[in-house]
Structure 1
Amino acid sequence: MDTTPTLADPASDDTRWVGRRRFARVGRVLPVAFLQIVGTLLASRVLVGPGVGTGSASPPWARHAFTGAVDPVHLGPLAIGFLVAGVVVLPWRWRWPRSVLLLTLATTIGYALVVSPRGPFVAALTMALANAWLRGHRWWVVASAALAVVVLPTADAVLGRSSVLDLSAVLLCIAWVTVTIAVSELVRVRLERVAERRRQRAEADRRRAADERVRIARELHDSVAHSM
C-alpha cells in the first residue's frame, strides 16, 4: 500500500509544522550570531577619540570612560573561537536549556578572560538566559547571571590588564542581567496568559460540541418516540 504523504495527509502536515518550528528556532539564532560575532569584531577594531596610542595600562572600555580614547583590541583565534562557540550551541536551547546556558556562560567568560571585553559579546548568553528563564529554570538563570556579574566586569582588573576596577562596567553588567530577567519574566507572563485564553476557548468549544450532541440526541429520541 502506498504510504507516501499527500497534501491531505495529517502526518505530512505535522512533519511540515515540526520542520517550520525547528527552522524558526534556528532562524532566531541568526541575528544573535550576527550581533555577537560581527558586532564584537567591529567594536574590537574601532579606533575613536583623542589620546589613542597613549600606552595606558587600562583596558579600552576604561580608557573610553576616562579619556574618551578607545584603542583596537586584537582578537586571536581563541577569542574568536569563544565567540563562535557561544552561538553554535543556541539551536539546541529548547531541548537542553540548562546545558546550553552553562556552555554559553563558559564561552562568554572565556572570551572575557582572553581579551578585554568590548561590544555585544554577551548576545548568546542573553538568549540562553532568557530561554532558560522561560523554560522555568530560574535558579540556574540567577546563579549564572550572578557569576557573570562577578567575572565579566572584573576580568581585566583581576588579570592585571587594568590597574583599577571600572565601577561603570559593573553597573552596566548588573543592568544588563536585570533587564534580561525582567523582560523574560514579562514575556513568560504574556505567554501564560495567551495559553490560558486558548485553553479556555478550547474548553468552551468542547462544551458547545457536547451540548450540540445532547441536543441532537434529544431531537432524535423525540422523533423516534413520535413515530412510534
Structure 2
Amino acid sequence: MDGQHDGPPWRRHRTDEPHHPRLPWLSTGLITAFVLGGSTFAAHAQQGERTALDPAGRALLLVTCLALLARRRHPVAVVCGTAAGTLAYLGAGYPYGPVFLAVAVACFSAVVAGHRRAAWSAMAALWAGHVLLAHWLYRWLPPSGDSAEPWGQELVIAAWVVAIVALSELARTRREQWARERAERAQAARRRADEERLRIARELHDVLAHSISVINVQAGVGLALLDSDPEQARTALTTIKDQSREALGEVRQVLHTLRAPGDAPRAPAPGLDRLPELVDQAAGAGLTVEVEGKPPRLPPATDLAAFRIVQEALTNVVRHSGSRRARVRLARDGGALLLRIDDDGPATGADAGGSGNGLAGMRERAAALGGTIEAGPRPDGGFRVLASLPLTVRHAEESEEEVEDR
C-alpha cells in the first residue's frame, strides 16, 4: 500500500485528485453587471415599443448570465442554456440591449474548448429562433400590436453571429498553435536533457573504464610480486593510488555539472595535449605505446573526442588484447583529423570483437561531430580503430551545454 504513491502527502493530492478549473467569478460578475445595466438603459430608450423590463425579465437575464460560471466545466450545456435563455427573453418581448453578450461569451468558450459543432448549432438555433419570433410568432407574443422586424436587422444579427464564431475559431486556432509550440519546446528540452545525460554517461564510461582497467592490471601485478619483488609491488600500488585519484577528480568534474549545471567547470576538458599521460598510464599497465605524428590545432569538442577515443582504444588493448604493444598515429587529411590505433593481438576477451559499450560510445562521439569510426580486426591479425574527425565543428551541431562545459 505504501508503494502506490510517491512523494509527500501535500504534493500527492494535487495529482491524485481530478483537476477542475476554477469558476470565473470576476468575469462573470462584470458581464452580468454590464448586461443588467445596459438592458435597463435600453428599456428606458425603448419604452412603449417593447415590454417593460420587470423583475421577471431581470431574473431571466441574471440566470442567463450566471450560467457563465460553468462555461469552463460544461461549455456545451452553457452555450445551449444561454441561447435558450436569450430566446426566452426576446420571446417575452423585453427590450433589446446587450442581451447577446452572454451567449457570445458562451460560444467563445465552447469553441475554444473544442466543442465547435455544439457552439455553431447553438448560434444557428439562436438566429433561426429570432427569425421565427420576429417574423411569425410575434403575432401571439408580447408586446401586443407589435409588427415584424425588418429583414435588415436579421442580416445585422447574422453578421454578428458569424463574427462571434469567426473570432472564437481564431482564438481556438491560436491556442492550439501555442499548445503545439509549448509541446515542441518541452520536447526540445527533453531532447537536450537526454543528450546531456548521454554525454555524461559517455564521460563516466570513458573515465572509469580506462582507470579501472589500469587499476585491475596493476593490482594483479602487485599481488603477483608482493612476496618476490616488494619494491615492484609498491610501484604498482603507487600507480593504483595515482590512477584512482585522477579518476575520482574527473568523475567529480563530470558529476558537478549535474549539481550545478550553470557553473563553469573547475578544470579544462582533457585533450590530446594529455596524450603523454595516457602513454604513461598504459606503460604502468604493461602496454608500450608508440605515438606517431602531432595533432593540428583542434576545436575543443574535437580535441576532447579525440582524447577519449584514444583513451578507450588503449583501454580495449589492455583489457582484450594479448599484445603488449600499441601504435597511435595522428595525421591530417584535408579538413579532418585521422586517428589510427593498432595492436597486434590476439584477442583474449569475449567483447573483443568490437560490439561493446566503449566502441558504441566512440561512434557516438564521432557522429556527434560529423565524423566516422571504423573498428575491427586487421587482415594480418590484431585490431584497428580508425577515426576521422572534422577540424571545424559546425555550429548547428553544437549544443549550448557543450559550449558551456568547454
TM-score (norm 2): 0.44
* Aligned mate of 1:198, from 182, 199, 218: 182
| Alpha carbons 2:42, 2:95 under 8 Å: kept | no
Equivalent residue for 1:178?
A: 162
Q: Rg: which structure is higher?
A: 2
Aligned to 1:221, the other structure's residue is in SS state helix
- State the one-letter code of the partner of 2:114: G
| Distance in 1 (alpha carbons) for counterparts of 2:124 and 2:59 | 24
Return 128-137 or 144-153, whichever deviates more. 144-153
Aligned ranges 1:106-145 → 2 under 5 Å: 106-145=84-123
Equivalent residue for 2:204?
A: 220
Q: How big is each residue's C-alpha offset from its partner over 1:194-226, in whole Å with a ceiling of 9 and x where there is no partner?
A: 111100000000000001111111111111122
1:85 matched to 2:63: yes
Percent of counterpart pairs with the same letter?
Answer: 31
Equivalent residue for 2:45?
A: 46
Equivalent residue for 1:163?
A: 147
Go from structure 1 to structure 2 and tell me whether the alpha carbon gap of 1:121 and 1:184 turns closer, same or farther (over 3 Å shift). Answer: same
| Distance in 1 (alpha carbons) for counterparts of 2:119 and 2:42 | 27
- State the one-letter code of the partner of 2:138: L
Equivalent residue for 1:102?
A: 80
Equivalent residue for 2:350?
A: none
Tell me, which stretches of 5 or more residues in structure 1 are unaligned?
A: 1-8, 54-58, 61-72
Equivalent residue for 1:22?
A: 22
| Distance in 2 (alpha carbons) for counterparts of 1:189 and 1:121 | 27
| Alpha carbons 2:25, 2:69 under 8 Å: kept | yes
The alpha-carbon deviation at position 45 of structure 1 amounts to 1.5
Q: How big is each residue's C-alpha offset from its partner over 1:171-198, in whole Å with a ceiling of 9 and x where there is no partner?
A: 1210111000000011011111111110
RCO comparison, higher one (Cα < 8 Å, 6+): 1
| Distance in 2 (alpha carbons) for counterparts of 1:12 and 1:38 | 42
> How large is the RMSD of aligned CA atoms in angstroms?
2.4
Q: Counting strand residues as a fraction of each chain, which structure ranks higher?
A: 2
The alpha-carbon deviation at position 131 of structure 1 amounts to 1.1
| Distance in 2 (alpha carbons) for counterparts of 1:117 and 1:172 | 17
Tell me, which stretches of 5 or more residues in structure 2 are unaligned?
A: 1-9, 213-406
| Alpha carbons 2:38, 2:98 under 8 Å: kept | yes
Go from structure 1 to structure 2 and tell me whether the alpha carbon gap of 1:101 and 1:11 turns closer, same or farther (over 3 Å shift). Answer: same
Q: Counting helix residues as a fraction of each chain, which structure ranks higher?
A: 1
| Count of aligned residue pairs for this structure pair | 194
The alpha-carbon deviation at position 46 of structure 1 amounts to 2.6
| Alpha carbons 2:138, 2:147 under 8 Å: kept | no
